[in-house]
Each structure stands twice: as structure tokens, then as C-alpha cells.
Structure 1
Amino acid sequence: MRLLLFILLLSVQFVLGQTTIAYTSFEELTAVGGKYVDSLDAATDHALVNHANQPYVNYTSTGGELGFSSYYYNTRNDVGLTDGDYVGVTNYTGAVGSYPDGSNGFQLSDCDGKMETTFDEVNLSGHTSAYVSIAYFVQETGWESDDEIRIWVVVDGGTEIDLLNTAGSDIDDLGIEDAWDTLEVALTGYSTATLKVSLDCNSGDEALYIDNIQFTEESISAIEPVSDHKVVKQYKLYSNYPNPFNPTTTLKFDVPQNTRNVELSIYNILGVKVKT
């Protein structure tokens, strides 16, 4: 990929606002505690169902937080979730310390197969700069080479966009364990989006926690003049290196000391702005 780089020096500053389109932090449900026991046949793929006095694996939205549903896939010819496992809505903090938003989160662990949770489809019509973000925590342990974590979005009913996909990698080598982190991807140009999360593993210490899922839109809420209207006339922009590149490159530029409100815009070879 090649880049065209420009610096635009402004005498105004933009104040960005954020609008929530849809969200969940799993706070509308009571975290029951204990294990979830699947009552169906582990040899066949099937939708998971809620059971009394067990953690919720499904939720029908009442107009506030996003709803979700969970599914089991027999990928290992094992016992699946029939032996009782810690999955679903939880307030357990022994591994994570605390949750990024509220007191609850959602856990997938020791699936002895693959557990996949799908959130309600979000309508993005009329939202020109939408994003989805999700906080996740991967428990530190001895993950096996065939364990897989995937977090992705299905847009417009078909195209899949990965936020995280460990297939083909050893999770222990990715530097993603033992700390909360946030994944985010732009959804510009799409009409609908459905977030999905899956874990394929077979050990009680192999766990994925998620929280604070947000579909948002960024917008300019105000344009404010800068008190100092002096516009910098001297600057130097160096060629990025390497160029062409895959997947990263380094950008360098010089402006006078104490310069403020510098905007670096990146264009692709077709002249389309790809990043600011």
C-alpha cells in the first residue's frame, strides 16, 4: 500500500461528540452465579437455553440493553457444556479484578467445543460514522494450539469483519492475556451490524470475559476558534518508511515548537482519505 500525506494547519478546533446507538454491559440481568449445565445432546450442534437458577446465556431485549442468544457447536466430540461450566452473565471478579462498566460481564470458558454468542442486529441507517467497541479479558493460562477466540461483526447480513481472530495462532504468544483491552472497528457505509463472540476450548482455566459493548456515532458537536490565530507557515513532511508497506509504516513531520492544532491526513493512491 502507498500513502499520500498532507498536513493541514488550522486556526479552529473541533469538539467531537458521541451518540450511543445500542449498548450492553449486562446490567439488566441478575448474575446468578454457579455453573451453567446444558441439558441437550453434546454430540449435536444446538441453541443453548436458559435454565432456572443458572447463569443467563440468552436475553431478550426490553428496549434498553442489547439482547443476545448463545449456541453450542460440537467441534471436539467431547462433553460440551453438559458437565457444568462457568459461562453466561457473571459478576465473578476473581480473574478480572473488576468490570469496565458496572458489576456484571459475560463469560465463556471450558466449552469442550465451541460456544458462540450473537447480539441483536443493530440498525445503522442514518448513522454516517458508526463504530462498535467491546471490552475483553483473556484469562492467562496455558492455552493450547487448537483453542480459538473470535470476536467479529456481520454487516448487512453477510460480510464479516474481524475485531479479533486467533485462528492459526497460539493465544499465549499474542500478548492479549491478563488485562482488559478494548477492540473497535468503524462501520461506516453499512446499514446493519451484528456482533458475535465465540470461544473454542476444553479447559476450565481457559476463559474469555466481555463487557461494555457499544455501538456509537461520532459527530462534531461544536467548532471553536483558537485564541491564537497565527497559522504556521513553515513545516516539513518526511516520506513515510517503508513505502510501499505491509502492514505498518512510520510517519515523521516537523513543525515549529509550541505549534497546536496540527492535523495529519492520510490518503490512499486514489486520493481517498483513509485516516486523520
Structure 2
Amino acid sequence: MNVVPGRGARIILAMLPFILIAIIYVIGSAERRAANPDDKLLPPVSEMVVTSKRLVAEPDRRSGDYVLWTDTAASLRRLALGLGISALAGLILGIAIGLLPVAGAGFGTLVAVLSMIPPMAVLPILFIVFGLGELSKVVLIIVGITPMLVRDISLEVAGMPREQLIKAQTLGASTWQVAIRVVLPQIMPRLIKCLRLMIGPAFLFLISAEAIAADAGLGYRIFLVRRYLSMDVILPYVAWITLLAYLLDLALSLIGRRAFPWAYEQEAR
């Protein structure tokens, strides 16, 4: 129970589930192809490698674009805008609601109610109001993530030791100074952790919006080729999205540990 694996053992244990999944997939793919040579559900790994190479390194015949990189750039641009605006709004509103009793009484319940609305339910409304362009896709991410960020940040601010705030006020700090110099530095690690948890939902909202109305993007490509049962495109795209989400999560984790090492001391122990 108390055995802590070393670095090498930890790497092996982390890779083991992926190796098992790969083995199961190869066996399943081989069996399905043996039973039906035209089976498209589980394409062989070699077939997916050839398709991925074409998407990555060969320009499209009609557009001349390198499809995977064009789709990735379009999706990451939308995702970055959505996450960036959500983080800024969540930080400002969360601090205001958690720090100021008037703001908490006036907007706390509203934010709680808004966080319960399924974002996908308002997607048609966003398309009607903002059109089918880039704005509606970014707004969907903002609508889906911001209320949750605001609630979490406001609860974190409200749970801060009141002695710190009282001492700062006793020393002559204004509300603005308390928010900037006392609350903000302590709340930033929490914001980064919240953003890490929101990466998955953000990708979900992004892909859903791209699937309905887009001319480029990871979600657009997946739903474009599904009518042809092109699993040799869909599966690599799903794996690529997963890798991007993991790398983004890792980047946020490294930023948090470098910028706010004191917030991760407990985890290190």
C-alpha cells in the first residue's frame, strides 16, 4: 500500500495501459479484417499511418492546404480565444463575487443558475444571434466554461482567511489593493487548476460547434468524413485531439509549478 514506484517503474506503469489497448486494437482489427476484408470499423494501424501521412505531409488536391495542420490551427485559435476570455472573465467576476458582499448577493445566485444551463442547449440560439462564423463557436466555449470558473474562483476567494483581508484593510489598503495584492496572487494557482479541468469541456463545445457549422477544424473534419465511415481519418483525429488536450494540460501544469511553486508544495510531499 505504501510502496512508491521509482521513476523508471512509474514510466512503465504509465505506458502499460496504452500498450494493452494497442494490442487489443491490433487483435480486434485483424480478426474483423479476416472475417470481412472490406470492414471499415477497425482499420489496420498501417492503413491509419498512411492516411495520417497524407493528411500531414501532402497538400489537399482542391484547396492546396495541409489538412491536419489547417484544421489544427483553426481549432486551436478558437480554443485559445474561448479559454482566454473565459479565464479573464472568471477571474474578475470570481474575485468580485467572492470578495464583495454586495456583488455576491447580487450576482452569486445568477451565476449559479447560469452554470446549470446545458451549453449545447443554447447553441442554436448562439448561431441565430452571432451567425455561423467564428464568433458563435468562441461564445459557446465562453458560455460553457465561464460560469463554472466564476463559481469556483468566488468560492475560493470566500474561503480565504478573513484575517488576511482585515490586516490589509487595517494597514490602509483599499478594496482594489486588497483584490490585487492579497487575493489575486493567492487565487492564480486555483485559476490554472480550474482551466486544466475545463480543457475537456472546452474541446467538447468546440468540436460540437465545428461539427454543425464550419469549413475547417478538427470537429469539422471528423463529422465530414463520418458519412463515408472513414475511420482511418476519424481515429487519428481523435488521438490527435487527445494529445493536444494532454499537452495543453501539461503546459498549464508546468506554468503553475514554475510561477507558483508554493501552491504545489503539498502535492510534492
Give TM-score, length-normalised by structure 2. 0.24
Give TM-score, length-normalised by structure 1. 0.24
Which protein has the bigger helix share? 2
Structure showing greater relative contact order (alpha-carbon pairs closer than 8 Å, 6 or more residues apart): 1
Which protein has the bigger strand share? 1
